[in-house]
Amino acid sequence: MNKLFTITKNTFIETLRQPVYAIIIFTALFMFIVSPPMTMYTMSDDSKLLREIGLSTLFLASLFIAIFSASGAVAEEIENKTITTVLSKPVQRPIFIIAKFFGVAAAVALAHYVCTIALLMAIRHGVMETASDEPDWTVISTGLAVLFLAFSLSAFFNYVYDWKFSSTAMVLMGVFGTFGMVFLCLINREWQFAPQENGINALDVYGSILLLLAAIVIAALAVAFSARFNIVVTLSACIGVFLLGLVSDYVFGRYAETKIWAKIGRFLVPNLQVFWISDAIYEGSVVPLKYIVISAFYAVCYTTAILLVAIALFQRRQVG
């Protein structure tokens, strides 16, 4: 367990320090900031479009972080020959693969959590549909305060203790963002204590949880591919599986009852449509907690199977 925890912690820290990690998160945060004014020009329900754009941004951000982070988790260590030092401790190869996955999954979960906070703040602010609408200064002030505190303390720790600025900022944004969301859940736009007016919808939280499960599945796939192939092949394969998983019902589902290849494809390719609830948002449907539990069980089973395949692929790979 000590070896597992050590490799997991190092992988988590290394993932947070990757430049692409911070770039994707800040790009997603920028999209959340500009999404309320972008959706004010629609002819339909602006709030539903805001939520769908926000969930789409969250989906893509988490998946790209999972793909890019997990792709280099094993392949880079093999190419740099640093893996020989780790495996000579000795560290069992199954422990190494599992620890790498846990480290990447923790980094993906942190990024997803930070982006979810930004999404909920954007939804709480809402769309200014008319010129007479006033901005929600409670949300704006809270968001600016979170960013100011996170960046200021990150700069301080970087200057005094030489901590990595980007990784420290990510962690602090998660911490201060949590306090900010608790504040917004209690205080309304008139700066009064009114928890019943917090504007937080359970459907948005459920949607975020489902998208995190999808990102974890893709991260496991990336670890499995990187256990046998280089980074370029891993990235290409993960993007291909991601695109195929989005249209799984259309490609495989309609032929599954009559075609053997469709049955195999539906079994092997993760159905990412399970984790997307856009239809429920537009139709105003209720997503029961039972659906979240079943989807989580599906993600856990699929992730476990992928990790077992990854361990099998890595067992006989030459790393010296």
What is the domain extent for residue 294? 2-315
Q: How far is CA 89 from CA 38, 85, 93, in A?
A: 54, 7, 11
The predicted structure's pLDDT at residue 130 = 66
Q: What is the DSSP letter of 228?
A: T
Q: Of 180, 223, 220, whose CA–CA distance to 200 is shortest? A: 180
Within 8 A by CB and 6+ apart from 102, the residues are 4, 8, 11
User: Is residue 182 assigned to a domain?
Assistant: yes
Within 8 A by CB and 6+ apart from 103, the residues are 7, 8, 9, 10, 11, 12, 14, 15, 73
Q: How many whole angstroms separate alpha carbon 45 and alpha carbon 206? A: 21
Q: How many whole angstroms separate alpha carbon 227 and alpha carbon 314? A: 5
Q: Of 33, 10, 18, 70, whose CA–CA distance to 234 is shortest? A: 70
User: How much is the CA Rg of the chain, to the nearest whole Å?
Assistant: 21
User: Is residue 320 assigned to a domain?
Assistant: no
* End-to-end Cα, the chain, rounded Å: 25
> Helices marked H in 187-259 — which ranges?
202-226, 231-246, 248-251
Q: How many whole angstroms separate alpha carbon 247 and alpha carbon 252? A: 8
Mean pLDDT per block of 10 residues along the chain (320 residues) reads: 86 89 92 80 68 88 87 74 71 86 94 94 81 81 94 94 90 95 90 81 87 92 85 85 83 78 82 82 78 93 92 77
Residue 193's DSSP bridge partners are: 187
CA angle 208, 214, 219 (to 5 degrees): 125
DSSP string, 70-122: HHHHHHHHHHTTTHHHHHTTT--HHHHHHHHHHHHHHHHHHHHHHHHHHHHHH
User: Is residue 200 assigned to a domain?
Assistant: yes
Which residue do the tokens 């911490």 mark? 175
Total of domains in the chain: 1
User: Is residue 196 assigned to a domain?
Assistant: yes
Within 8 A by CB and 6+ apart from 165, the residues are 154, 155, 158
User: Is residue 297 assigned to a domain?
Assistant: yes
Contact criterion met (CB below 8 Å) for 219 and 69: yes
pTM of the model: 0.91
Q: Of 202, 149, 213, whose CA–CA distance to 180 is shortest? A: 149
User: Is residue 96 assigned to a domain?
Assistant: yes
What size, in residues, is the chain? 320
DSSP-based three-state secondary structure for 42: coil
Any idea of the CA torsion for 170, 174, 179, 181, to the nearest 10 degrees? 120
